A and B are shown apart, each in its own frame.
Chain A
């Protein structure tokens, strides 16, 4: 590319295109190159395990060798070819219950994260963008909530609402939203100072429209990465509430409730080990995924 016209001459009809090309950003990369950026061991392993669990959720009825709710042979049988994770005190197949339990534990955790993100982002965005008294009211509320140990607060809320998986879900949202409120508020505070926000106001756009169109979308990448990483903690929190008798009620095959059941039969370790292994695999997988995604989206890691 050469500059041929005199610099002060009118730059041709479409002279702008003759200007030096700025380096392309990643969004314009060919699809394959973009895909290659995600080809990190953490992401591949994490995504594979998550995919397997999604299949389990979809096909639990087909995959489970036995009925999760009724006895399928002897009580307290150790793991064998017939019963991969053994049987529990009522003779139910633990492996089948773990597969069916995935249908409870995982969707609840995902829903809890989604609702926490929605509530937290809204609160954080409004507090950060409008500032003033809105900020002065909303953020201390978030801070006070965060000051309690999450399990204690979740227990208190669940106890007040009464046991049951739906109430455990609400308890978790009540505990978790402030994390995203803080995160989003911090993002918004810096984004709202960018010039394109000023430019949007200068064309006469209303403040809500500016927030919705030009501020909030820019804060969503770190939120989605954080949400992925938090999913593991939420799965454990759901199980903890069930373990404490505040979540899923028997005979539900929710993983935490199953671990409680296993705790009563200490010498039949397989009853707790089955759901425990399932939980560890999911939590590790989503943490791998979250770490990997963070590395991909973190500009500072580019080119390594």
Chain B
């Protein structure tokens, strides 16, 4: 391209003032976006990718500041502009689609009026005309019955529809550049696909350039022309999407690509020899929650889980995949006996444990342990790592104090952590370290079954790969059985022996990962598989690992 670039970021550094002095979040990053081009910025959490884009339209947190470099947009130095001049740029020339559709709309105002506001703020239209334009925009982002939807509030919209509304707001004034910061990370995979399709179609017809921020390299490669890989505030690699993906030059990019689970990644587990007896048996499990509906608040039962049956053979991993609201976490809670089923049977080692309490339940807790999704929330911030791991031993009165201390050290090394970490607090650890601590705690009582509820979903892809590897090796060594709950089919494929696909409370399809992912029979399973970003539309896989 010979024309001047639309956006040119040169040698940009951003620092945040903290109690511990300045912390540099972006150091000397450069990138270029040409008109109409889609450029993806890829990186793990803490890589500075969001900070970089926030610096472009000057929306850094109050303690952040640009320490060097320049941002030139459409021939103008944005860093030299006054705050007032920037207000004219934001929304009008540079649109923004924020990350979280749940918190970025005002719950007290109708969704439509918030889109119309974009026009009136920039004096592009009067109120009446703005409303008309907002309705048009809602239609264009694929919201049916837009006239009626205009007057509704955000709680009447699903996550995917809210994200479409935010896209409509970002594109309202036909900006030359749209910054989309993880626009679909909070959405289910099938919804993600339709939202991204819509976004691509709109920006193409409008000729809008897109700066797409994402942690998902495959998604970036599928959606962008040009990919910029960031790590620790610096750009480690950039180039045309396909080149970066197929022949990466930076070691870090290669690691990212090989660690990213895809449907082409080979399974990490070997099928068990012979047939093991089931350690957990679930039959006809059903869970209803009372929900208040209507103006009178009448209680009508909502069925979260409906007639779910499966077994977990000893020493194997059984996966449950499904999107949010499919009831998969409710199943996990019932297997853990943290929620009582409305109907159905739960048997442990052939004995029914439905409705047990007191001493029997206490004994059951020793055998079945959970690891939850969020390694930040699952550990009590006021307890040291050692105390957190020792707590189950204390509660169950296992061993003498000295033996418990020894056990804590042993557990820490079992999950590949330095036993010295026992004295630290959870906030001093990284996400992956915390999840290892949560696993060590779950293993403290030598359980037979570990229920992993989205246990790797919140982790960066490299860390996720390490934790999966740890889980597999623990299973081999200790003969553990796992119930593995996830929304991520690629991860489930890597670690599970048997997979059940859940939708709206029921299991719609079951089978081994190989059968299920190569010959799906149910339409929903196929839709799930189709929605996974694979690098480039049409290409069957990312790249062979290695």
Residues on A with C-beta less than 8 A from B430 are 19-22
CB distance from A295 to the nearest CB of B (A): 14
18 inter-chain pairs at a CB distance below 8 angstroms, sorted by A residue, are A7-B255, A8-B268, A8-B465, A8-B469, A9-B469, A10-B469, A13-B416, A21-B430, A24-B20, A24-B427, A25-B425, A27-B425, A199-B370, A203-B395, A203-B441, A209-B395, A303-B17, A303-B61
**Distance in angstroms between the alpha carbons of A203 and B381 in the assembled complex:** 17
The chain B residue sitting closest to A201, CB to CB, is: B338
Tell me if B470 is interfacial: C-beta within 8 Å of chain A.
yes
CB distance from A125 to the nearest CB of B (A): 16
CB distance from A216 to the nearest CB of B (A): 11
Tell me if A14 is interfacial: C-beta within 8 Å of chain B.
yes
Tell me if B34 is interfacial: C-beta within 8 Å of chain A.
no
Residues on A with C-beta less than 8 A from B413 are 13-14
Are A204 and B396 in contact, with the CB atoms below 8 A? yes
Given contacts A199-B378, A203-B369, contact A27 B336 (CB under 8 A): no
**Distance in angstroms between the alpha carbons of A25 and B19 in the assembled complex:** 10
Tell me if A196 is interfacial: C-beta within 8 Å of chain B.
yes
Tell me if A218 is interfacial: C-beta within 8 Å of chain B.
yes
Are B369 and A36 in contact, with the CB atoms below 8 A? no
Q: CB within 8 Å of A: which of B42-58?
A: 44, 46
Are A204 and B365 in contact, with the CB atoms below 8 A? yes
Residues on B with C-beta less than 8 A from A202 are 336, 338, 365, 369-370
The chain B residue sitting closest to A4, CB to CB, is: B251
The chain A residue sitting closest to B424, CB to CB, is: A28
Are A195 and B372 in contact, with the CB atoms below 8 A? yes
Given contacts A198-B338, A303-B16, contact A27 B427 (CB under 8 A): yes
Which residue numbers of A lie inside 8 Å of B, CB to CB? 3, 6-17, 19-29, 33, 36-37, 194-196, 198-205, 209, 213-214, 217-218, 302-304
Q: CB within 8 Å of A: which of B462-511?
A: 462-463, 465-466, 469-470, 473
Are A37 and B466 in contact, with the CB atoms below 8 A? no
Residues on A with C-beta less than 8 A from B466 are 7, 11, 15, 19
**Distance in angstroms between the alpha carbons of A261 and B255 in the assembled complex:** 82
Are A16 and B416 in contact, with the CB atoms below 8 A? yes
**Distance in angstroms between the alpha carbons of A9 and B416 in the assembled complex:** 12
Most buried by B among A7, A23, A201, A204: A7
Q: Which 4 A-B pairs have the closest CB atoms?
A: A204-B365, A303-B63, A7-B259, A25-B427
Residues on A with C-beta less than 8 A from B373 are 195
**Distance in angstroms between the alpha carbons of A20 and B432 in the assembled complex:** 9
Are A10 and B416 in contact, with the CB atoms below 8 A? yes
Residues on B with C-beta less than 8 A from A204 are 361-362, 365-366, 392, 395-396
**Distance in angstroms between the alpha carbons of A7 and B259 in the assembled complex:** 6
Tell me if B113 is interfacial: C-beta within 8 Å of chain A.
no
Residues on B with C-beta less than 8 A from A12 are 416
Tell me if B446 is interfacial: C-beta within 8 Å of chain A.
no
Residue-wise, chain B 16-39 has the 8 Å CB interface mask toward A (1 for contact) of: 111110010000000000000000
CB distance from B347 to the nearest CB of A (A): 19
Tell me if B120 is interfacial: C-beta within 8 Å of chain A.
no
Given contacts A11-B469, A33-B19, A205-B395, contact A217 B428 (CB under 8 A): no
**Distance in angstroms between the alpha carbons of A11 and B465 in the assembled complex:** 10
**Distance in angstroms between the alpha carbons of A29 and B21 in the assembled complex:** 11
Are A14 and B416 in contact, with the CB atoms below 8 A? yes
Are B462 and A7 in contact, with the CB atoms below 8 A? yes
Residues on A with C-beta less than 8 A from B17 are 303
Tell me if B374 is interfacial: C-beta within 8 Å of chain A.
yes
Given contacts A195-B377, A202-B369, contact A22 B415 (CB under 8 A): no
The chain A residue sitting closest to B371, CB to CB, is: A199
CB distance from B337 to the nearest CB of A (A): 8
Are A203 and B469 in contact, with the CB atoms below 8 A? no
Most buried by B among A3, A28, A204: A204
Picked from A6, A9, A218, the residue with its CB within 8 Å of the CB of B382 is A218
Tell me if B418 is interfacial: C-beta within 8 Å of chain A.
yes
CB distance from B359 to the nearest CB of A (A): 10
CB distance from A40 to the nearest CB of B (A): 13
The chain A residue sitting closest to B370, CB to CB, is: A202
Which residue numbers of B lie inside 8 Å of A, CB to CB? 16-20, 23, 44, 46, 61-63, 252, 255, 258-259, 268, 336, 338, 361-362, 365-366, 369-370, 372-374, 377-382, 391-392, 395-396, 413, 415-418, 421, 425, 427-433, 436, 438, 441, 445, 462-463, 465-466, 469-470, 473, 545
The chain A residue sitting closest to B372, CB to CB, is: A195
Please name 16 further chain A to chain B contacts, defined as beta carbons within 8 Å, in addition to the given A17-B433, A23-B23, A202-B370, sorted by A numbering.
A3-B252, A6-B258, A7-B255, A8-B259, A9-B469, A11-B416, A11-B470, A16-B417, A21-B430, A22-B431, A196-B377, A198-B370, A199-B379, A200-B380, A203-B395, A204-B362
CB distance from B476 to the nearest CB of A (A): 12
Residues on A with C-beta less than 8 A from B391 are 200, 203, 205
Given contacts A17-B421, A19-B430, A33-B19, contact A3 B255 (CB under 8 A): yes
The chain A residue sitting closest to B466, CB to CB, is: A11
Residues on A with C-beta less than 8 A from B44 are 20
**Distance in angstroms between the alpha carbons of A27 and B18 in the assembled complex:** 14
**Distance in angstroms between the alpha carbons of A213 and B380 in the assembled complex:** 9
CB distance from A163 to the nearest CB of B (A): 44
Are B433 and A7 in contact, with the CB atoms below 8 A? no
CB distance from A71 to the nearest CB of B (A): 57
The chain B residue sitting closest to A26, CB to CB, is: B19
Residues on A with C-beta less than 8 A from B369 are 202-203
Are B427 and A37 in contact, with the CB atoms below 8 A? no
Are B425 and A28 in contact, with the CB atoms below 8 A? yes
**Distance in angstroms between the alpha carbons of A15 and B470 in the assembled complex:** 11
Given contacts A15-B466, A28-B427, A33-B20, contact A199 B418 (CB under 8 A): no
Residues on A with C-beta less than 8 A from B438 are 199
Residues on A with C-beta less than 8 A from B16 are 303
The chain A residue sitting closest to B415, CB to CB, is: A16
Residues on B with C-beta less than 8 A from A6 are 255, 258
Residues on B with C-beta less than 8 A from A209 are 395
**Distance in angstroms between the alpha carbons of A205 and B445 in the assembled complex:** 13
**Distance in angstroms between the alpha carbons of A205 and B393 in the assembled complex:** 11
The chain A residue sitting closest to B460, CB to CB, is: A20
**Distance in angstroms between the alpha carbons of A13 and B373 in the assembled complex:** 25
Given contacts A25-B427, A196-B377, contact A19 B432 (CB under 8 A): yes
Are A15 and B377 in contact, with the CB atoms below 8 A? no
Are B63 and A203 in contact, with the CB atoms below 8 A? no
Are B465 and A7 in contact, with the CB atoms below 8 A? yes
Residues on A with C-beta less than 8 A from B338 are 198, 201-202
CB distance from B27 to the nearest CB of A (A): 15
Residues on A with C-beta less than 8 A from B469 are 8-11
CB distance from A222 to the nearest CB of B (A): 15
Are B378 and A195 in contact, with the CB atoms below 8 A? yes
**Distance in angstroms between the alpha carbons of A22 and B429 in the assembled complex:** 6
Residues on B with C-beta less than 8 A from A11 are 416, 466, 469-470
Are B425 and A196 in contact, with the CB atoms below 8 A? no
The chain B residue sitting closest to A214, CB to CB, is: B380
Are A196 and B380 in contact, with the CB atoms below 8 A? yes
Are B418 and A194 in contact, with the CB atoms below 8 A? no
